[in-house]
C-alpha cells in the first residue's frame, strides 16, 4: 500500500507552504506501509522559534481551504517542535537544533521519500 493521491497532494501543499517561508531541509516520507495512523510525514526545520511559528502559520493557511484545521496541534507555545496532525498527513516543523538531535529521518529511513515541491522560495530570492 502507498500513500493516497489526496495525501500526497496535501503533503505537497504543506511542503510548498513551508518552502515559501524558507523552511530548511523539507522532506516528505510515505509512512503508509509502517503506520496505520498516517500516510505521509512532512518534516522541515528553521533556525528560530519565530520562523518555526511563521512556517506553521503558512502551512495552516495553505491547508485550511483544502482540509480545514488540523485535528491536533502540539508544541505551538514553545515553537521548538510543532506537530500539525491532519489525519493522513502529519507535519513536523522543528527548530534545526532539535531536528539534529532527534534525527527523525533516521527513524523513517526505510520509508520512501515523496517528490514534493521545494526550492522555489530559494530560487525566487536568488533571482532578486
Domains within the chain, CATH numbers bracketed: 5-117 (3.30.460.10)
How much of the chain, in percent, has pLDDT values that exceed 70? 92
Per the model's pLDDT, the better-predicted residue between 124 and 34 turns out to be 34
The predicted structure's pLDDT at residue 36: 87
DSSP-assigned beta bridge partners for residue 73: 84
pLDDT at 110 > cutoff 50: yes
Angle between the N-to-C axes of helices 5-20 and 49-67, in degrees from 0 to 180, rounded to the nearest 10: 140
Q: Say if strands 40-46 and 72-74 run parallel, antiparallel, or are unpaired.
A: unpaired
Q: Is 102 exposed, middle or buried (0-12, 13-18, 19+ CB in 10 A)?
A: middle
112 Cβ contact partners less than 8 Å away, ≥ 6 residues apart? 2, 29, 30
Q: How does pLDDT run across 53-77, given as a tens digit for each residue?
A: 999 999 999 999 999 999 999 999 9
Beta-sheet strand order (sheet of 113-114) = 72-74, 81-85, 89-95, 40-46, 24-30, 113-114
Amino acid at each position: 500500500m502507498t500513500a493516497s493521491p489526496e495525501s500526497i497532494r496535501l503533503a505537497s501543499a504543506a511542503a510548498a507552504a513551508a518552502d515559501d517561508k524558507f523552511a530548511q531541509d523539507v522532506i516528505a516520507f510515505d509512512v503508509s506501509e509502517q503506520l496505520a495512523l498516517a500516510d505521509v510525514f512532512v518534516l522541515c526545520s528553521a533556525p528560530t522559534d519565530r520562523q518555526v511559528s511563521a512556517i506553521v502559520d503558512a502551512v495552516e493557511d495553505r491547508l485550511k481551504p483544502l482540509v480545514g484545521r488540523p485535528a491536533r496541534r502540539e508544541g505551538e507555545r514553545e515553537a521548538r517542535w510543532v506537530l500539525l496532525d491532519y489525519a493522513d498527513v502529519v507535519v513536523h516543523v522543528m527548530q534545526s537544533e532539535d531536528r539534529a538531535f532527534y534525527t527523525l529521518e533516521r527513524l523513517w529511513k526505510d520509508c520512501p521519500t515523496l517528490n514534493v515541491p521545494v526550492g522555489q522560495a530559494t530560487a525566487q530570492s536568488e533571482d532578486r
